[in-house]
Structures are given as structure tokens and as C-alpha cells.
């Protein structure tokens, strides 16, 4: 590892690959797709990368490999992460906002209408005023509505009383998420971590829920 | 709707489609693929379906449309649901067990080893004795290990202290899940509901977490 002119620790492509666990051809592909900013040229054929590249590469990997995001969507998320005109809340919001979600629900579909009413009643009971303000503009809100609408269509229960415990657990999860995020340097690093941790904790959370169901089922019926 | 010889409410294919919201050609496909048992023949060309068909159809739809499960995997899950040799806990467990999960983690990969240690320590701290007994045999456990291993590889934090709030929330979610499940008739209907609700609440939960993050971020930085 060497120090660049600006005093940043620098590394070559091989070391960037080793430290991130991402193969060199994949890194080259991300560079070509402009998901990763170009390295600092040190000769006509060689470039060096810094800790910012490493962090960005980890985020790209999380979005594409775990979040199964198309390259174009990942590029949008990264643009929001890098937009330093925004304050931290807006920047974080814009980045999580761009994470892909359920398809746009059909207006006029009675199941979607019922799901919107259930979601709005849920947000009100939870006191989530920010979510109620942004409402249907928010991809996360649409994701919730689309998931509830599927249950309505299939005849599974999802009124406010049944949704409420899930909302309460989500609020606790968000506290854990933001506690982790606050461990990072404010600014781009923090926003990058927020987006990566949102995506990376999803499979862990869903797996833990299934394990917890087995515990609870064993306790009740075992 | 008519009553069959056995006193069950019966319906024709068109009504089954209307009540489930699943198009007729899709139902015919599920019948051909043996995801749905055949109807009761009332003539050489016509069959009738009962409430059991409707419930099973809803579950199939949840597994394939929301769970994005291949037909072969859905068939395995349904076989576990229908296996009435098992007691309710084992039957529920076997069915959730068959829901697809992360790929088998590579043994000998240092990130996987670290993830296994973190997962085991987490289960111990949570007092999840059932999960610790079944351990790596469980797809849910492998899903957790694979998710943690990705974070280890990418250099994101995931030690026991950081994972614990997610485990605690998962335990609360499982209580809500099993409360919903206990609202159904014990037996096949209950196991079907358990599997469907496990899959159907996943996008709702992930959407609610993103909405809750926006609330929490607004509260802290807004």
C-alpha cells in the first residue's frame, strides 16, 4: 500500500480485489459500467484506488449480488448516495428511496384500494407522520401496499390489527439500523453504509424470522 | 355454488378463478403440474372444486408469485404441508423448511466460518435451543449464515452485539406469525396458512422496515 499525493492510502487493482473479495474481471466490469469511479492514473496503463473506491465497491457488490439490482438501478442508487447537495436525512432517504421495490400498484384495483386503506390506517396507528406525508410517492410505501394487496387478493388476513405487530417490529429494526449507521463517518460514508446495511440485513432478517418461527412453534406445539 | 355428495360446497373452474383471482389458464397449468389436486369429476369433461382447492390454490400462488419459487420447490413444500403423519410442529417445520433459501455455504471459506461462529453465538444469546440443535441442517440457519458471510466478506459489521437486536425483533415477529396461524383450523389448513403467511409477509415486512428507517432518520437528522 502506498500514499497518494493527497496523503490517501492507495492500492492497485489486485489489492482492491483481495481486500473486497471481488474478482478483478468483475471490478473491471463495474468500472466500465461507471458503478465505480475511475482510479487515479499513475501511468498510461496503471491506476491506483483508495479507501473510497473500496467502500464504493462493497456497496456496489451488496446492491447487485444481495439486492439483485439491475445495473441501471444500482447506478441511480449510487447517484443519490453521492449527491452532497442534500442534508443527511434527505440523502439517506433518496438513496434508500432508489432501492428497487414492488411494481407500481394498479389504481382502481379493489385489492389495491383496500391495501392502501390498511396501510394508511397502519401508519396512523404507528404515528409515522413522515411516511403518511410522502405516502404513495415512496417506493417503500408502494412495496407495503403491493404486499398487502396480494394478501387481500388471496383472501389472507391483513387488517390493521394483524399488521400492527409487524409495524412495531419494523420500528425497532429501524432503530437498530440507524444505530449501526451512526457508527460511520457522517457524509458519503454514512449514506453508503445505510444503503448497504439496508440491503445486506434483509436475508439475515428473513432467515432469523424463519428460525424464530421454529422456536416459537416448538414452544407452542412441540 | 353447489353442494357435493359429501356435503362440501363445490364450484366450477370459473368460480374458483373468480374467488382466487387466479386466471383459468394458470389454474389449468397448476393442475397439470400437480400443484393442485384434480377436481371431483362430474362428467367426462367437467370437474368441481371445493374450499380445499381454493385454499391450496392461494398457497400455490403465494409460493410461486411472491416467493418466486420454482415449480419443483413448490411441489416439495406442498408435499410437506400435506404429510399428515407428522405432528403440527414437525409438519409446520417441514413445510417452512422446504421454502427455498440461500445456496449451501462453502465449507472452509473463512467468511463462512466466521459467520457460523457469529450465528451460533447469536442463537446461544437468544436462547434458541431448537435452532442450535438442528443447526446447519436447517435452510433458515444456512440463510442466516450466508447473509452474515456476505457482510463479513464485504467488511460490514455483524458481530453478536450488532445482530442481537435483529434476532430479538425476529422473535417478536414469530410470535405475531404464530398468533395469526393459530387463528386457522388445526391440521392441513393451519400448516397451509403458516407457509403462505411466512412468504406473503416478507415483502410487507421489508417495506415497513424501509418506511420505519425514513421515520427514524427524520427523527434523528431531519
Query: Residue ranges per domain, chain A?
Result: 2-94, 101-221
| Element housing B41 (H / E) | strand B40-41
Band (A103; pLDDT cuts 50, 70, 90): low
In angstroms, the CA B218 to CA B170 distance is 24
Please give, one letter per residue, the 3-state secondary structure of chain A.
CEECCCCCEEECHHHHHHHHCCCHHHHHHHHHCCCCCCCEECCCCCEEEEHHHHHHHHHHHHHHHHCCCCHHHHHHHHHHHHCCCCCHHHHHHHHHHCCCCCCCCCCCCHHHHHHHHHHHHHHHHHCCHHHHHHHHHCHHHHHHHHHHHHHHHHCCCCCHHHHHHHHHHHHHHHHHHHHHHCCCCCCHHHHHHHHHHHHHHHHHHHHHHHHHHHHHHHHHHC
- The answer to whether A74 and A35 are in contact (CB under 8 A) is yes
Task: Compute, in degrees rounded to 10, the torsion defined by CA atoms B84, B88, B91, B95.
Answer: 130
Cβ atoms of A19 and A56 closer than 8 Å: no
CB–CB contact B101 A155 (8 Å) = no
B209 closest CA partner among B177, B169, B151:
B169
Fold classification of A2-94 (topology level): Multidrug-efflux Transporter Regulator; Chain: A; Domain 2 (1.10.1660)
CA-CA distance, B42 to B4, in Å (whole number)? 10
Residue with cell 396458512: B193
What span, in angstroms and rounded, lies between the C-alpha atoms of A197 and B97? 26
Q: For residues B15 and B188, which has the higher predicted lDDT (pLDDT)?
A: B15
**Averaged pLDDT for residues B21-25:** 92
**Nearest residue on chain B to A96, alpha-carbon basis:** B210
Residues of A in Cβ contact (< 8 Å) with B147: 66, 200-204, 207
What pLDDT is recorded for position A1? 46
Cα-based distances in Å from B202 to A128, A193, B207: 20, 23, 9
Residue of A65, A140, A209 lying closest to B211 (CB–CB): A140
Give me the percent of chain B exceeding a pLDDT of 90: 43
Q: Give the chain A residue whose CA is nearest to the CA of B221.
A: A89
B2-93 carries CATH number 3.50.50.60: no
pLDDT band, very low/low/confident/very high, at B101 (cuts 50, 70, 90): low
> Reduced to 3 states, what is the DSSP secondary structure of residue B123?
helix
If one compares B221 and A55, the residue with the highest pLDDT of the two is A55
pLDDT, average across residues A181-210: 89
Q: What is the ipTM of this complex?
A: 0.87
Residue A25 pLDDT > 80, yes or no?
A: yes
Q: What is the mean pLDDT of residues A36-58?
A: 92
Taking the C-alpha atoms of residue A94 and residue A76, their distance in angstroms, rounded to an integer, is: 10
* Contact (Cβ atoms closer than 8 angstroms) between residue A131 and residue A138: yes
Higher pLDDT: B162 or A220? It is: B162
- pLDDT score of A22 more than 50: yes
Phi, psi of B95 (to 5 degrees): -70, -50
Lowest mean pLDDT, pick from A85-94, A189-198, B141-150, B173-182? A85-94
The pLDDT score that the predictor gives to residue B1 is 46
Q: Are B169 and A173 in contact (CB under 8 A)?
A: yes
Given a cut of 90, whether residue B125 has pLDDT beyond it is yes
The rounded Cα B157 to chain-centroid distance in angstroms is 28
Q: Which of A38-47, A168-177, B28-37, B66-75 has the lowest mean pLDDT?
A: B66-75
CA quadruple B208, B211, B215, B220: dihedral sign = positive
Helix or strand (DSSP H, E) at B72: helix B71-82
- Residues B153 and B111: their CA atoms lie apart, in Å, by 6
Q: Report the range of poorest mean pLDDT among A167-176, B37-46, B78-87, B109-118.
A: B78-87
Highest mean pLDDT among A78-92, B29-43, B97-111: B29-43
Instruction: Answer whether B196 sits within 8 Å of A163, measured CB to CB.
Output: no
Chain A residues within an 8 Å CB radius of B65 = 150
A168/B172 touch (CB, cutoff 8 Å), yes or no: yes
DSSP letter at B62 equals I
B21: cell is 383471482
What mean pLDDT is reported for chain A? Answer: 86
Closest residue on chain A to B192 (Cα):
A156
Sheet holding A40-41, edge to edge: A2-3, A9-11, A47-50, A40-41
Task: Residue B99: list chain A partners with CB under 8 A.
Answer: 210
Amino acid at each position: 500500500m502506498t500514499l497518494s499525493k493527497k496523503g490517501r492510502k492507495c492500492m492497485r487493482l489486485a489489492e482492491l480485489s483481495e481486500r473486497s473479495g471481488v474478482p478483478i474481471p468483475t471490478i473491471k466490469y463495474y468500472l466500465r459500467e461507471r458503478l465505480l469511479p475511475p482510479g487515479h492514473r499513475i501511468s498510461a496503463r496503471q491506476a491506483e484506488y483508495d479507501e473510497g473506491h473500496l467502500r464504493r465497491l462493497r456497496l456496489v457488490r451488496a446492491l447487485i449480488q444481495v439486492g439483485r439490482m439491475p445495473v441501471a438501478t444500482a447506478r441511480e442508487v449510487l447517484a443519490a448516495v453521492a449527491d452532497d447537495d442534500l442534508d443527511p436525512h434527505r440523502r439517506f432517504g433518496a438513496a434508500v428511496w432508489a432501492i428497487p421495490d414492488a411494481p407500481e400498484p394498479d389504481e382502481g384495483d379493489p385489492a389495491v384500494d383496500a391495501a392502501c386503506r390498511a396501510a394508511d390506517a397502519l401508519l396512523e396507528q404507528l404515528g409515522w407522520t413522515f411516511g403518511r406525508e410522502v405516502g404513495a410517492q415512496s417506493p417503500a410505501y408502494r412495496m407495503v401496499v403491493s404486499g398487502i394487496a396480494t394478501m387481500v387478493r388471496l383472501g389472507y388476513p391483513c387488517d390493521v390489527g394483524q399488521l400492527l405487530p409487524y409495524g412495531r417490529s419494523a420500528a425497532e429494526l429501524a432503530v437498530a439500523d440507524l444505530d449501526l449507521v451512526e457508527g460511520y463517518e457522517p457524509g458519503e460514508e454514512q449514506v453508503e453504509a445505510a444503503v448497504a446495511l439496508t440491503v445486506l440485513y434483509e436475508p439475515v432478517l428473513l432467515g432469523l424470522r424463519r428460525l424464530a418461527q421454529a422456536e416459537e412453534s416448538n414452544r407452542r406445539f412441540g
